[in-house]
C-alpha cells in the first residue's frame, strides 16, 4: 500500500482530524490547484452530512476559512486563530491564499447542508469560486478521516497509483497475513520491514528525524495539557481535569505518607496523559493525528508509559519501533475498513488507536510479529460497535475519557499478548473486516452526527430539566 508512517501521524490542530484538519487542507488545495486568482470575485464553501451536522462543534467553519486564507494544519498558530477570523469578519473580506482579497463573511460564505450527504463519504464539501465574467468553478472534496482528503472521483485513480507504488516498496502488504509472511521469509520484525519500506521514499536520517519530531510534539502536548486549567470552549463548560488530577498525583507521590496510594495509580497516570492530550485537542491546540484527532491521546500516553515506566535500555530506538509498528496497524485499518468516525463510528478511531498502541508497545518491548498481531487484534476486538456520539458536536464528552480508557486497554492488550506465544483464535485481518461490516450496519445517527446516543439523551434530559 502507498502509505507512510507520516500519513498516519500528522502534526495539526484540534479538535478534529476529519472535521478540522481535512477541511482546512481541502480548502487550501482547491485554491492552489485552481491557479491564478486575479479573476476571482467571490468564494463559497458548502458543507454536507456529518461536516454540517457537527461542523460548528468541530470548528469546521474556522478550518475552512483558515484554509482559504492559505493556512496549513501543521503551521497555523493555534493562539492566533481567533484573531485572524475576527479580522475577516470585521473587514467583511478575505485574502485568498493570503494574497487576493474578495468579499466574505462566514454567514454568507459558508453553507450548511445538514439533511444532505454527498455520495462518496459522509464528510463532503463543495468549494465554489465566482469569476468576474459571471461564471463559477467548483470542486467536491471528501475528508475521509485522519486528515486524509480526496477529490470526488479520486478513489479509483488512487487505487491505480497505490497498486503501482506498492510494487516499489521492499515489503508490499495489504493484509496482516501478507506482512507476517514477509516476516517469516525475511526473518525481520514488523518495525524493521516498515523501516525498509519507508527508506525507499526517504533516507534513514530523514525517517529518524521525522519520527523524533512527531514524538517531540506528542510529549509537548501531554506536558501542556498537564499544566493547563480552565474550561474547554464550545458552550458545555466542561472543566479540564488532567492538570488538577496530575497535581494531586504528584503531591501524593511527594508525601511521606503513602497510605493513600492505590495499586492502580500507575494506570491512572496513563489515563491522565491521554486525557491531557485530548483536552488540548478539544481546545484547538497542537496535536498529532494518531490516527485521528479524536483518538489522539492514546498513542502518546502509551508511548510515555513505555519511555518512562518500562525502563527501556534504548528508549529512542524503542519509540521509533513503536511508531513504525503502530503505523502498520493503522495502514491496515484505513485500507481495509476506516479510521473515520463518520463512516464506522468510534471503533474506527479509539478502537484503531488502541490497536496501534498495543501493537507498538509489544514491538518496543521486543515481542514477536505474532504477538504484535495478537495485541492489535485484542485492541480492536474490544471496541467493536463503539458509536461516535459527541454531545453538542464537541470532541469532549465522551471523547476525552474514551482516550484514557483506550490507553489503559492498549497496555492490557499488550500485556496479554506478551504473556502468550502469539497464537490466537481471531486474526487481525478478520477483526478489521468485522469492524468494517459493523460500521456499515451501524445506523448513521450513531456515526459522528450527534443525532443519536449520548448526544441526544443528554440534551433531552437537560431540556427536560429546564
Q: Is residue 10 part of a domain?
A: no
Q: Where are the alpha helices (DSSP H) in 16-80?
A: 22-34, 49-53, 60-68
Q: What pLDDT, on the 0 to 100 scale, is given for residue 332?
A: 98
pLDDT tens for each residue of 5-41: 999 999 999 999 999 999 999 999 999 999 999 999 9
Residue 203 shares a structural domain with residue 128? no
pLDDT of the residue at 465: 36
Check: CB of residue 244 under 8 Å from CB of residue 227.
no
Q: Give CA–CA dist 179/428, Å, rounded.
A: 11
Of the candidate ranges 95-104, 250-259, 364-373, 376-385, the one whose mean pLDDT is the lowest: 250-259
Within a domain: residue 343?
Answer: yes
Q: Is the pLDDT of residue 443 over 50?
A: yes
97 C-beta neighbours (distance < 10 Å), count: 16
Confidence band for 463, pLDDT divided at 50, 70 and 90: very low
Dihedral of alpha carbons 457, 459, 462, 466, sign: negative
**pLDDT surpasses 70 at 212:** yes
* Residue 302 to residue 319: CA distance in whole angstroms: 10
Mean pLDDT of the chain: 93
80 with 198, same domain: the answer is: no
> Is 431's pLDDT higher than 80?
yes
Compute how many other C-beta atoms are within 10 angstroms of the C-beta atom of residue 132.
10
By percentage, how much of the chain surpasses pLDDT 70?
94
Same domain, 242 and 185: yes
Domain boundary among 100, 119, 143: 143
Strands 93-96 and 100-103: antiparallel
The verdict on residue 160 lying in a domain is: no
DSSP H helical segments within 94-203, as ranges? 106-109, 154-166, 176-186, 190-198
**Integer Cα distance of 176 and 1 in angstroms:** 12
Average pLDDT (400-409) is: 97
Question: Do residues 130 and 67 both lie within one domain?
Answer: yes
* Residue 465 to residue 62: CA distance in whole angstroms: 32
Does 466 score more than 70 pLDDT? no
Q: Which residue among 127, 143, 159 closes a domain?
A: 143
Rounded CA-CA distance 55/67 in Å is 15
Does residue 420 surpass a pLDDT of 90?
yes
Query: What is the dihedral sign for C-alpha 33, 68, 117, 121?
Result: positive
How many domains, the chain? 2
CB burial of residue 335 (10 Å; 0-12, 13-18, 19+): middle
Contact 451, 445 (CB under 8 A): yes
Task: Based on the fold, state whether residues 352 and 284 are members of the same structural domain.
Answer: yes
Q: How confident is the model at residue 159 (pLDDT cuts 50, 70, 90)?
A: low
- Separation of alpha carbons 119 and 22, rounded Å: 18
Residues 135 and 180 in one domain: no
For residue 204, count other CB atoms closer than 10 A to its CB: 10
CATH number, domain at 134? 3.30.1330.90
Which one-letter DSSP state was computed for residue 79?
Answer: G
Contacts of 249 (CB under 8 A, 6+ apart): 265, 268, 269, 272
The C-alpha atoms of residue 34 and residue 11 are separated, in whole angstroms, by 26
CA distance 320 to 209: 10
CA 241 – CA 232 distance, rounded (Å)? 10
Do 136 and 180 share a domain, yes or no? no
Asked if 105 and 216 sit in the same domain, the reply is no
Cα angle value 267/268/274 (rounded, 5°):
95
Do 291 and 368 lie in one domain? The reply is yes
| 125 and 197 part of one domain | no
Tell me, yes or no, whether 234 and 331 share the same domain: yes
Domain residues for 55?
Answer: 19-143
How much is the pLDDT for 135? Answer: 97
When pLDDT is cut at 50, 70 and 90, the band that residue 398 belongs to is very high
Mean pLDDT, range 207-228, rounded to an integer: 98
Whether 169 is in a domain gets the answer no
367 located within any domain: yes
pLDDT tens digit sequence for 231-290: 999 999 999 999 999 999 888 877 755 555 555 667 889 999 999 999 999 999 999 999
Residue 298 located in a structural domain = yes
Domain termination site, one of 121, 143, 165: 143
Per DSSP, the chain holds a count of helices (H) and strands (E) of 20, 9
How do the residues of the chain divide into helix, strand and coil, expressed in percent and rounded to 5? 55, 10, 35
What percent of the chain has a predicted confidence (pLDDT) above 90? 90
Whether 465 is in a domain gets the answer: no
Given pLDDT bands bounded at 50, 70 and 90, which one contains residue 188?
very high
376 and 449: one domain? yes
In this prediction, residue 170 carries a pLDDT of: 97
Contacts made by residues 195-198, CB under 8 angstroms, sequence distance 24+: 195/324, 196/169, 196/170, 196/171, 197/169, 197/170, 197/171, 198/4, 198/5, 198/324
Residue 195 forms part of a structural domain: yes
Using alpha carbons only, how large is the chain's radius of gyration in Å?
22
Residue 464 has pLDDT above 50, yes or no: no
Residues 95-102, mean pLDDT to the nearest whole number:
98
Amino acid at each position: 500500500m502507498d502509505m507512510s508512517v507520516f500519513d498516519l501521524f500528522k502534526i495539526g490542530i484540534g479538535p478534529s482530524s476529519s472535521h478540522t484538519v481535512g477541511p482546512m487542507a481541502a480548502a487550501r488545495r482547491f485554491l492552489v490547484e485552481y491557479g491564478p486568482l486575479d479573476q476571482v470575485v467571490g468564494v463559497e464553501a458548502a458543507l454536507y452530512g456529518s461536516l454540517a451536522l457537527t461542523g460548528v462543534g468541530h470548528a469546521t467553519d474556522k478550518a475552512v476559512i483558515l484554509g482559504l486564507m492559505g493556512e496549513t494544519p501543521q503551521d497555523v498558530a493555534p493562539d492566533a486563530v481567533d484573531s485572524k477570523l475576527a479580522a475577516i469578519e470585521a473587514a467583511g473580506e478575505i485574502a485568498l491564499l493570503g494574497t487576493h482579497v474578495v468579499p466574505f463573511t462566514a454567514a454568507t460564505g459558508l453553507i450548511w447542508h445538514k439533511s444532505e450527504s454527498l455520495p462518496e463519504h459522509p464528510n463532503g464539501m463543495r468549494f465554489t469560486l465566482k469569476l468576474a465574467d459571471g461564471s463559477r468553478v467548483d470542486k467536491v472534496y471528501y475528508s475521509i478521516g485522519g486528515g486524509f482528503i480526496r477529490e470526488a472521483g479520486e478513489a479509483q485513480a488512487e487505487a491505480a497509483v497505490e497498486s503501482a507504488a506498492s510494487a516499489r516498496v521492499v515489503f508490499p502488504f495489504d493484509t496482516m497475513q501478507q506482512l507476517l509472511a514477509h516476516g517469516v521469509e525475511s526473518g525481520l520484525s514488523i518495525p524493521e520491514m516498515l523501516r525498509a519500506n519507508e527508506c525507499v521514499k526517504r533516507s534513514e536520517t530523514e525517517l529518524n528525524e521525522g519520527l523524533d519530531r512527531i514524538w517531540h510534539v506528542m510529549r509537548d502536548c501531554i506536558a501542556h495539557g498537564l499544566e493547563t486549567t480552565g474550561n474547554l470552549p464550545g458552550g458545555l463548560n466542561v472543566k479540564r481535569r488532567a492538570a488538577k488530577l496530575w497535581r494531586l498525583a504528584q503531591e501524593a507521590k511527594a508525601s511521606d505518607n503513602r497510605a493513600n496510594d492505590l495499586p492502580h495509580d500507575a494506570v491512572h497516570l496513563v489515563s491522565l496523559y491521554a486525557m491531557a492530550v485530548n483536552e488540548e485537542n478539544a481546545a484547538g491546540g497542537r496535536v498529532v493525528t494518531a490516527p485521528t484527532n479524536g483518538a489522539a491521546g492514546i498513542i502518546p500516553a502509551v508511548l510515555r508509559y513505555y519511555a518512562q515506566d518500562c525502563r527501556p535500555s534504548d528508549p529512542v530506538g524503542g519509540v521509533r519501533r513503536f511508531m513504525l509498528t503502530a503505523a502498520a496497524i493503522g495502514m491496515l485499518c484505513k485500507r481495509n475498513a476506516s479510521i473515520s468516525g463518520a463512516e464506522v463510528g468510534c471503533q474506527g478511531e479509539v478502537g484503531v488507536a488502541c490497536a496501534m498502541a498495543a501493537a507498538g508497545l509489544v514491538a518496543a518491548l521486543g515481542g514477536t510479529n505474532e504477538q504484535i498481531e495478537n495485541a492489535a487484534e485484542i485492541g480492536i476486538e474490544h471496541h467493536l460497535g463503539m458509536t461516535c456520539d459527541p454531545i453538542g458536536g464537541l470532541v469532549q464528552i465522551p471523547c476525552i475519557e474514551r482516550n484514557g480508557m483506550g490507553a489503559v486497554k492498549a497496555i492490557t492488550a499488550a500485556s496479554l499478548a506478551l504473556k502468550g506465544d502469539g497464537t490466537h483464535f481471531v486474526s487481525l485481518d478478520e477483526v478489521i473486516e468485522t469492524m468494517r461490516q459493523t460500521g456499515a450496519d451501524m445506523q448513521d445517527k450513531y456515526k459522528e452526527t450527534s443525532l443519536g446516543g449520548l448526544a441526544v439523551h443528554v440534551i433531552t434530559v437537560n431540556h427536560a430539566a429546564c
